[in-house]
């Protein structure tokens, strides 16, 4: 191995940290339920809601925190959430049915994303708030409400392509939402359908980490609210979507060092740090670095509730007063739709080590009972080390293979591309068959968003765990109900 190991240690908070210390318990779960296995921690999602709520309180804002369901299919997490004062953002017929079945009433549900007629009908039938993606959806929803004689449906108008005069910040193009430029026409349509659709407010969701872009969008929404009021409507809510982010790594220095070394590797100034010299978006052209790093910023000092706080404290680009103050003065409700951020520290994914071998070039290859789609950290660009959980009774840590090693992690599909990560992963020692590798903090998008049943492999199981007295208890995710599991209490 060349140089010191380039670790990317995961950031662990309670109760996830203490779960990871219970290696024997986690081994028992995998023995019983198979590898891979996802474990969720419902108590933590309730705590995360509270952290978002405290930011609302700091800015004296009312409104709702909608969990973006698409980030995890888990029933346990959604049912636990139903016990808090949070709401839920559903993006499919199945998610809407799931939310209703978990105990969310229509006043705590918003339907977003592209909608098929069945999804639209059930949303309208239950009178959940519908976030309207564009003029076509507005027309089809109005027609559906009329055709079935349904009561008026509350709607949010999702907007996009915001601009601020005099300032160069523009929000990026999006497939979703109506362009701000077409707002007058959209409002004409809303006025035409005022008997069947009631505008509750406006919305945006931008997939960016840029506070400037989001501030521009939020200010654009405030202008759109004014425009609605001038037309005689009484909108109440501004929905600023999700994208608050998660800080995955424990140490900023490790992240800085890793990304620096990666650029050196791409330029050929050090041995590769990835299989096949993959550069995660970077490449060398005639000795110069090109491209851009296409990775999640795994170390994010300002993330989740802290990011919301920073956005609300920021002056509006043109109005030049804090965005939170502008919302408060207008008595608007703030809606947020965090997905990843509400799932921070809410789970982990386990894989059993099946085989360790050397490739022809002598690199150690560790094959896991898991595929890249079972833990889609790589697909989402999140680089973070797994934690090695030795099997009990394994030989002590001496002799060959007892020091740090750089390995490649292969999945169990019969496919060259099935690498858990293309990165060389540094571990404190060489894993052995029977050990577990634990990927921490995978509840946001990395458990089931990409999952397939390729090669007729059964999908990974998911279990919910909670602490009772001094020990951990578990049940199948679908069997979890908060009233029968301690740690749950009404908000």
**With contact defined as beta carbons under 8 Å apart, do 27 and 350 qualify?**
no
d(CA 70, CA 454): 21
Binds ligand PLP (CB under 6 A): choice among 338, 431, 482, 488: 338
Q: Smallest Cα–Cα separation from 214: which of 317, 61, 333?
A: 317
Binding to ligand PLP by residue 341, rule CB under 6 A?
A: yes
Long-range pairs, 263-266, Cβ under 8 A, ≥24: 263/289
Binding to ligand PLP by residue 96, rule CB under 6 A?
A: no
d(CA 90, CA 103): 14
Q: Report CA torsion sign: 424, 428, 430, 432.
A: negative
Binds ligand PLP (CB under 6 A): choice among 300, 340, 462, 485: 340
Q: Smallest Cα–Cα separation from 444: which of 385, 350, 377?
A: 377
Binding to ligand PLP by residue 164, rule CB under 6 A?
A: no
Q: Which is nearer to ligand PLP, 52 or 481 (CB)?
A: 52
**With contact defined as beta carbons under 8 Å apart, do 224 and 157 qualify?**
yes
For 151-166, b where at least 16 C-beta lie within 10 A, e where not — what string? eebbbbbbbbbbbbee
- How near is the Cβ of 200 to ligand PLP at its closest, in Å? 15
Strands 419-427 and 405-410: antiparallel
Q: Which stretch binds ligand PLP (CB under 6 A): 149-157, 235-243, 415-423, 433-441?
A: 235-243
Binds ligand PLP (CB under 6 A): choice among 133, 337, 385, 448: 337
Binding to ligand PLP by residue 243, rule CB under 6 A?
A: yes
Q: Which is nearer to ligand PLP, 241 or 347 (CB)?
A: 241
- How near is the Cβ of 336 to ligand PLP at its closest, in Å? 9
Binding to ligand PLP by residue 68, rule CB under 6 A?
A: yes
Q: Which is nearer to ligand PLP, 205 or 278 (CB)?
A: 205
Binding to ligand PLP by residue 345, rule CB under 6 A?
A: no
Binds ligand PLP (CB under 6 A): choice among 72, 75, 92, 112: 112
- How near is the Cβ of 488 to ligand PLP at its closest, in Å? 24
Q: Residues touching ligand PLP: how many (CB under 6 A)?
A: 16
**With contact defined as beta carbons under 8 Å apart, do 115 and 95 qualify?**
no
Q: Helix and strand tally (H, E) in the chain?
A: 12, 20
C-alpha 185, offset from chain centre: 34
Q: Which is nearer to ligand PLP, 111 or 222 (CB)?
A: 111
Q: Which stretch binds ligand PLP (CB under 6 A): 37-45, 184-192, 335-343, 427-435?
A: 335-343
The 384-423 contact track toward ligand PLP, x by CB under 6 A, reads ----------------------------------------
Binding to ligand PLP by residue 242, rule CB under 6 A?
A: yes
If phi over 0 gives left and psi between -120 and 50 gives alpha, with beta otherwise, what is residue 203? beta
Of 432-461, binders to ligand PLP (CB under 6 A) are: none
How many other C-beta atoms are found inside a 10 Å radius of the C-beta of residue 54?
11
Residues that bind ligand PLP (CB under 6 A): 68, 70-71, 89, 112-113, 205, 241-244, 337-341
């Amino acid at each position: 191995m060349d140089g010191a190991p380039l670790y990317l240690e995961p950031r662990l908070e309670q109760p996830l940290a203490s779960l990871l210390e219970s290696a024997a318990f986690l081994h028992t779960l995998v023995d019983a339920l198979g590898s891979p296995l996802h474990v969720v921690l419902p108590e933590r999602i309730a705590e995360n809601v509270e952290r978002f709520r405290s930011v609302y309180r700091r800015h004296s804002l009312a409104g709702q925190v909608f969990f973006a369901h698409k980030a995890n299919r888990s029933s346990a997490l959604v049912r636990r959430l139903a016990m808090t004062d949070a709401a839920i953002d559903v993006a499919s017929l199945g998610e809407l049915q799931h939310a209703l079945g978990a105990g969310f009433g229509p006043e705590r549900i918003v339907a977003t994303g592209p909608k098929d007629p069945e999804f639209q009908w059930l949303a309208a039938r239950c009178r959940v708030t519908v976030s309207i993606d564009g003029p076509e959806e507005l027309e089809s929803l109005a027609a559906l409400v009329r055709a079935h004689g349904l009561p008026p449906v509350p709607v949010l108008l999702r907007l996009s392509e915001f601009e601020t005069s005099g300032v160069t910040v523009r929000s990026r193009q999006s497939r979703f939402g109506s362009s701000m430029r077409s707002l007058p026409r959209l409002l004409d349509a809303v006025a035409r359908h005022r008997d069947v659709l009631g505008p509750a407010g406006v919305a945006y969701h931008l997939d960016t980490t840029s506070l400037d872009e989001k501030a521009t969008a939020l200010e654009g929404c405030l202008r759109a609210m004014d425009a609605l009021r001038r037309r005689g409507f009484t909108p109440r809510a501004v929905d600023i979507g999700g994208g608050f982010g998660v800080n995955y790594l424990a140490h900023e220095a490790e992240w800085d060092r890793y990304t620096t070394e990666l650029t050196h590797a791409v330029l050929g100034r050090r041995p590769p740090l990835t299989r096949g010299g993959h550069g995660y978006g970077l490449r060398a052209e005639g000795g110069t670095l090109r491209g851009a790093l296409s990775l999640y910023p795994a170390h994010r000092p300002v993330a989740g509730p802290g990011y919301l706080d920073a956005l609300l404290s920021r002056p509006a680009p043109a109005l030049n007063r804090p965005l939170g103050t502008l919302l408060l003065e207008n008595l608007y409700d703030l809606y947020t739709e965090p997905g990843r951020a509400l799932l921070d520290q809410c789970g982990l994914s386990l894989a059993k080590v099946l085989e360790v071998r050397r490739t022809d070039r002598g690199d150690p290859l560790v094959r896991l009972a898991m595929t890249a789609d079972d833990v889609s950290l790589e697909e989402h660009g999140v680089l973070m080390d797994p934690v090695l959980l030795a099997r009990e009774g394994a030989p002590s840590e001496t002799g060959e293979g007892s020091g740090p090693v750089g390995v490649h992690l292969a999945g169990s599909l019969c496919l060259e591309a099935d690498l858990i990560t293309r990165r060389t992963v540094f571990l404190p020692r060489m894993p052995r068959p029977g050990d577990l590798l634990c990927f921490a903090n995978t509840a946001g998008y990395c458990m089931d968003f990409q999952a397939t049943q390729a090669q007729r492999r059964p999908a990974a199981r998911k279990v919910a765990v909670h602490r009772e007295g001094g020990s951990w208890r578990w049940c199948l995710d679908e069997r979890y109900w908060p009233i029968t599991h301690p740690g749950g209490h009404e908000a």
